[in-house]
Amino acid sequence: MQRQYNSSLYERLALSRNKDEVMRLAQQGNVIEKSTDIVKQPTVLEFLGLEEQAKYSETDMESAIINKLQKFLLELGKGYLFEVRQKRFTYDEENFYVDLVFYNRLLRCYVLIDLKIDKLTHQDLGQMQMYVNYYD
């Protein structure tokens, strides 16, 4: 009940168009019926314990996630294994860094997380596609 309060279940219910699904998720958790059920959306990060600020940096979020990795893995869903943070790879003689790399043993695939605190841009999407292509 404390987790539901801290994750603003009441607000999510009030704002949701599908209240039954939100309640089912709160009561049963993430039940895997198809491959898309393995990745939880949205991911709630209240367990990081970050002090309330007007703005956070990606580095602050990454450090908090690493410090509370077990809880973060449980927040992602089932079957996740942590591989590396700031994974460096070189493309066209330029270095790029993926913020967090996980492996999902149930899906048998890599999960790449590139943290963004600002509005998502087309450049960000292109960069993430490059990361995915590299891992393919």
pTM score of the predicted model: 0.54
**pLDDT tens digits for range 40-71:** 566 667 777 777 777 778 888 888 888 888 77
CA angle 125-105-82, nearest 5°? 65
Tell how many helices (H) and how many strands (E) occur in the chain.
Answer: 6, 3
User: What residues are paired with 101 via a beta bridge?
Assistant: 84, 112
**pLDDT tens digits for range 98-126:** 999 999 999 899 999 998 888 889 999 99
Domain ranges within the chain, ordered by starting residue:
32-135
